[in-house]
Structure 1
């Protein structure tokens, strides 16, 4: 088998060494032209379109998202509820609501406004829950275990 270097074929193209004298063809200004912002190092003009109105200023602004009006939902899965019951952090005797769930989950910041129950996991305990919303699977699993879920508006 013939070695490619023996017949004069280079496997890797060597990069042009700029700024190494006039004879190299890329000497003195190193192919950057003369003066100006682009000839300096570390300068790039990314959003500039040559005096034309930039695209991000031509497009209209759309919508408004008020941070204060967002509903903060405390989302709890059924497997989380069963773990809390097993650890005796929740008592099954009374109805579970937002305050009791926050207390059991050790959520010290009371930014949550609503409770949403999701159906991931299984629940074997008979529980009564007051929630603002719940998934269909969560409702069916709670009712099949003998408990009840009451949706509050």
Structure 2
């Protein structure tokens, strides 16, 4: 293969449709826009979701729910993830460095999912009642 022999794949290149260039082109007169109406005019179209003046679907349907913007600052860590971490003392910084919680997290809570065999000392981290019991049963503590 030479640089001067490279060609695009067959059918990859095709001429742009030139509308409104006479009847011989097959796309003259109305240029594929049909007859009259808003869509045939230059600059004549409507905004997305517009239904001709009828109340649009996105306004007919009821609004529901709420997504709290403070949730992104909360994080959860499982007992199984704590066991995999294998540290004797765990705080927020250790969890962030290990990648278990996001860098934006401000409140971290340990949840009871999985098992914990080693003693872990937690500082500045919350825990659910079940997780607290599991951590203390393994010889760990929460501060």
Unaligned runs of 5+ in 1: 1-33
What are the Cα deviations for residues 97-147 of structure 1, in whole angstroms up to 9, with x where unaligned? 1012222x1479631111110111111111111244322221111111121
Q: How far apart are the structure 1 equivalents of 2:67 and 2:115?
A: 37
Whether contact under 8 Å (1:71, 1:114) holds in the other structure is no
Q: Secondary structure at the match of 1:112?
A: coil
Match of 1:52 among 51, 54, 64: 54
Change (3 A) 1:107 1:121: closer
What are the Cα deviations for residues 18-48 of structure 1, in whole angstroms up to 9, with x where unaligned? xxxxxxxxxxxxxxxx7356x99xxxx9844
Q: How far apart are the structure 2 equivalents of 1:99 and 1:138?
A: 20
Q: Name the TM-score, length of structure 2 as normaliser.
A: 0.52
Q: Name the TM-score, length of structure 1 as normaliser.
A: 0.50
Q: How far apart are the structure 2 equivalents of 1:124 and 1:141?
A: 9
CA RMSD of aligned residues (A): 3.8
Unaligned runs of 5+ in 2: 1-33, 41-46
Whether contact under 8 Å (1:82, 1:124) holds in the other structure is yes
